[in-house]
Structure 1
């Protein structure tokens, strides 16, 4: 008898879990599922890759199975909000695996896909809808769905939704939901603005925290190379060349830079693809499919891929550009060492990225081991002159003062200006 059997889940669901090869729940699952099954609102704090989807998915499906009837037209019984299309798609895959051989239907609405096709699918009502906030607002504005009968709400990776500027969309969605509902909020970090979201959405929630913010998986080997910006690509190619048959994700900071880097890697003979905000949903889906199948070995991405990509065989993560937000580093490197496997996270640090590196190490509470190079010396800004103006000793200047901007008139002895 497994711990899942002792949680009070329906028999058909425990059988499905066993068929999926799941035996022991992760810490976030063992602590959050019983609370959620009791009907409590839950705030779950855990890093990506710790099994949060099943932590809310199992109690959500378990309670949905008790309805015994189809949802009404254009209504949504359970709503799951996610910050990115990739994460939403990953959640849908996991939930559809859970509801296999049940009457429950899981729907997906995200940007980059035909909104008219989504409107048509929503007409007959939806048991569980996974959505990104922006597309959900678009559909509500078109009166394609109703949330007045939504009994369950999940906010997944809520901190990233705040980072991406979805706070106003979340407020609008909150106003459309019934006050009598169960809400679960899952996040890797708990920034101050999250308290506003928690107060707006949850009622007397139980807080479940299984790993401190900023902690990476134990099986990730980390290293940093101190390298000039102009040499980053050469170093990346050298490192990639040592494991051409293994999957690697390379994170860049900008969409343009990531696309340019991907093309450089293709010219160097690597099977590479890119994912960023300028790609259509079809392009992003094809890149992910090729990466998962092994057709593509190197995926170059912005932070749009930092969460929600559950690809167990990613052996290497390269931070080609260090992120501006320290927590993003933790999410990025969490794409490797998944499902108990080993992985390596390699960071490149140029002189102007020392501030980002120090912030990352402070959040994580560690010093990342140095693989090559030496930490860059801080760039000293020119000292500001004391007093009101320019430096002493220059023509037209005076100690501690500013340069005299008056020109001497021809024939004057200079008595109108003080000597420097």
Structure 2
């Protein structure tokens, strides 16, 4: 489309420069909104066991938690993001309403779903959020940046406050950043600090790994704040030693509609959610991968009936994207045995998209790690997702296209 051409050829540096200003100040609102009431020193007065952290991924890229400084920064972000139970509960309410709109838009643009947590950091998912320098909306765009990305900003009509249109604009920009930097992790950092500053840091330091780059204080913490929201919303039971009990109770509490709110966009009409989801899911996109060859059509297991007797069940909580090498996170739905090891309901299964075979129209998922929530340890194992109706390895793509959190698969030992 014309906008993307202009971004890549002519307006890239203009957008990058403008967005550097946008995001350096846009997080001001959410930082104060989330952390101002809490005492940082008090919140960090304990010493957590960093060796018990579960594996963490961002857009399929592994977070190097074996590095102590990385683990400590993640724990610090987790503590700060859980400082206020009422605030966190309200953000959960908005996320429950808005994520069904944001997710299919990200998927259509082939932007990893982990970026749905970015507007939580930017605006706490408030459409009417305004930063001190004038960044507005869910994704906190400055006026000039919004116009460069195709949004209309004029008196009485500001598309930065439109969830669907502003998310489309954010996807265009994130795709541009990823194409320039080659990494979704760096793209997230550049969203905060601008691509010019990121490229300058990369050249000066001869380092392309976000976790080892020396960045300004806000950008250095930015990705950890996104990761903290992701872990809190999708994997909070693994952090019982870090998240206070009262927050754990709020995270497990059923959501109720928010009332008497000053932000009249907090709860979207159900018809808008349905329309936006339908539009995003039914807009044609190019295939996620080119055809992969050289794989047998079906790899049978010894007996399909054994799937129901010996297989374990796990429920999807996070899918980074339908691309080879991406990491999907599942939670076990019952106790059982996996690769000769006793596993329990609630344990976390980390699966890799091993292959996408468009000839047979199947995706192959392989699990290589399991985190025990009771033992606080990560184990290596080898499991494959199987079709419960046939006992064969591989899940048909038409089913995966409609994947949502809560999708349950059967797993067998390789």
- Of the two structures, which has the highest relative contact order with CA contacts closer than 8 Å and spacing of 6 or more? 2
TM-score of the aligned structures, taking structure 1 as reference length: 0.25
TM-score of the aligned structures, taking structure 2 as reference length: 0.25
Which structure dedicates a bigger proportion of its chain to helix?
Answer: 2
